[in-house]
Structure formats: C-alpha cells, structure tokens
Amino acid sequence: MGDDFPAVSTSTSENTPLRGSHSQTKETQASRSSVRSPIYNTQPARGLWLTKQILLLPPSYLYWNVRYLLPSGRPLPSWTLRRTVGAQLIRWGMKTLYRGNALPHAHFSEPPTRRDLAQLKKYNARLVWIDPVDVKEVSEPVGGWAEQAGVKGVRVRGYWVGDEVEREKKTTLGKERREGGKVMLFLHGGSYILAHPSEMTSYFPLNSIHHSHELCACLSVDYRLSSGSPNPAANPFPAALLDALSSFRYLLSLGFSPREIIIAGDSSGGNLAMALCKYLVEVESLGPVLGGLILLSPACDLTESHHYPESSQFRNYKTDYLLGLEESIFSYSVHAFCGSQPGGSDQHREMDGAPEDGNNATFLHWPRTLLIAGSVEMILDEIRTLKRRMVRDGVLLMYRDGKDVHTTV
C-alpha cells in the first residue's frame, strides 16, 4: 500500500567516552536524506485514506471474529477471541494513523486540557512542571551532541501518582517517608514519535504503586517527541534524553538520593531509560548507587541489525500488534528521532544496548536491572542480545520472558 522507507544503517570509526566505534558513511547519509514521507500526507488523499479505513473497519472486525473463532486459527491457541481481535484492532489503528499521517502527539509545553485534568482527577494523579536542564551543564558527549543538533532544555510536564512527596520537601514527615521508600521515574513508549494515550496516568506506575512495598510515588515524564518529513522536523536526539535528565535532577532536588530512584521505561521509553542510565553511570559515575532499572520490552537496537528473515521481527509478526517492516514506521521514527545532523544516528546508536553488528556497548557498574520481554513479540531477539551483554558484564539481572506480546505485563 505504498513504498517503504529505505533502511537506516550505520558503520564504524570514531571513539568518545559514551561512543564505541561508529561513524556515518555517505551511503547512510544519502539513505536518511531520501527517506520518504508517509504515503497519505496531503489533502484530499489523506482524507480519502482515513475515510476508507474507517468504512472498512466494521467488515474487518466481523471478518476477524469469524476467522479467529476457533482457537486453532488464532496466532496462539491459548489466546482468547477477544485478545486476538484486540491485537488486530491495535495494528489496524496504528496503520491507519501512521499511513494517514495522523499519529497523536503529546503537547509537552502546553497547559493541560479539561480532559487531561479530568483524567488526573480520576486516577488521583498530580501535574508538575519540571524545569529544564542547562545544556552548558550537561557533560560531554551529550552536551556537545545537543549543541550540534540545536537542542536546548525546555520545561516539560510530569505526572505524580502515590504519596505527595513533591509537596513534602520541607517537612519532617516527608523526609522520614522518603528515607523509608523509593520513587520511580517512568518513561513511556511510543517510538519517540507518539505518546501512549494513557501515558499521563500510565498503568505501570499505578500498578507498581499498588503492588510494591518499597515505592512511595511514581513520576511519569511527558518528554519531547520527535517528528520529521513530511511534518516539520522537531526535537531530534538528544532532546528526550535532556528531558529525562532534568526529571532525574528534579527528583534529586526533592531530597531523594540516587539510591532511592528507580528508572523505568517501556518500549522506546526503555531505550530512553537505558540512555539516561548510561549517562549517569559513565559520565556521572552513579552506577553503584542507583536504585535500579526496570526495562519492559525495551527497544534496544535502533539499527536494522536484527532484521533478517529468521529473526523475531519476522518470526513473531503474527503474534504481536506492532506494524511490520512493510509499513516503514520503524525507519520513519528513527529518521525523526535521529534528525538531519551528520552522525545523528550514530550518536544515538552509542546509547543503544544491543546492535549485533560490532557495537561496543558495555554495562559495567550498571545498577540491578529487571528486564521483561514477551516470548512472542517482534523485538525479542534484540532484547535477548541485551540480556547476554548485561550478563557478560556482571549486571545483577532478573530476566522474565513470558508468552506475551510487546510491553504486556
């Protein structure tokens, strides 16, 4: 249903404290510069495409219910009919929004709407504005990457659930509570180009508060999202990393020590959590004192080194809801996130944990880590590569690999 984006690739050559040995070839730059826009991005083609998809939904829904009526016809016989059809609906929605260039974006710098405030009230969540980090105070190489990309720190929104630790900074009770509990810094997924609809009060922070004896509160960060052609280019790497870093420093300003902060993320948020952890470990030497790291189906390879016919990208296509490579959303998100600066993809590539083709990423002195994957998800292979490298470098790792799809806990 349209042309695919060309592959985004990388190769090797330069070293920095966070980088391994990679630099961009002319072929890579040419490939990134020729990335094509989603096929339906102008009117009336866009409107006709969206109308067609909406009209096709009812018969498609009926077809899925008939096709998957018997367990033997489902991607996994253990799945219920509701779950199977639900996965098809999610994939339909992603494809429709992507091809129609209508992906939802978070408005990180705007005041919350009435609907946002109603959702906050429903889940007893609280809005907080997080002050920006000064790029001049960010150590190399991240500070240099930010200046090269023209990225500055901005004020972003965060959402608290749990104890009101942000209001107890100067009280004795608050001090005692913080010393007895930990706080989670949560980074949502969405391929760096869209926000989860429920990110404001994400179910993972809510469930963690309800089921954990150590956590007293969770802060979910509305970090900047990226965009690229055919939309205006905005917020390339390391914009999201700067927002994550400013959120970490905000928690420190409340009186939490690094040992009391658990960094968590799902999907691309897991990728961002690893990038933040890598900076804190290798630049600020906080590895031994960080409270922990939780990675839920983390996207740990933004290259295409795990994309081949025998890989989980192809093997698990029918048992996940992510779009396949034929939809090109992977190349678009990488292009938007890495930006148009020379070497942009290589700079972020050094924050990745699991490219197969020669990445020198190490995990020495990393905090204890909980790594969760779904055995039938499309990015399973890169997560297992990450697991092997963490084990190799002595990370205190707990790995869970259940029969589930992407980021399902």
Half-sphere exposure of 208 (CA within 13 A, CB side): 29
Structure tokens at 29: 């730059």
Of 237, 128, 254, the closest CA to residue 183 belongs to 254
CB 300 within 8 A of CB 40: no
Is residue 340 part of the annotated active site? The answer reads: no
CA nearest to 298, candidates 388, 370, 362, 201? 370
Q: What CA–CA distance (Å, rounded) separates 28 from 22?
A: 12
Question: What are the two backbone dihedrals, phi and then psi, of residue 327, each rounded to the nearest 5 degrees?
Answer: -90, -10
Catalytic residue among 208, 246, 267, 311, which? 267
Please state, in angstroms and rounded to a whole number, the distance separating the CA atoms of residues 397 and 401: 13
Encoded amino acid at 379, one letter: I
Q: What are the Cα distances from residue 407, in Å, to 103, 128, 162, 213, 270?
A: 19, 26, 22, 23, 10
Residue with tokens 């890989």, as numbered in its chain: 311
Helix (H, G, I), strand (E, B) or coil at 228: coil
Query: Residue 44, preceding bond cis, omega within 30 degrees?
Result: yes
Structure tokens at 252: 């420190």
Bridge partners, residue 157, by sequence:
129, 222
Question: How is residue 113 annotated by DSSP?
Answer: P
- The rounded distance, in Å, linking the Cα atoms of 147 and 236 is 12
132: left (phi over 0), alpha (psi -120 to 50) or beta: beta
Beta-carbon contacts of 111 under 8 Å, excluding residues fewer than 6 positions away, are none
CA distances from 12 to 6, 18, 36, 62, 349 (A): 20, 14, 25, 50, 11
Residues marked active site are found at 267
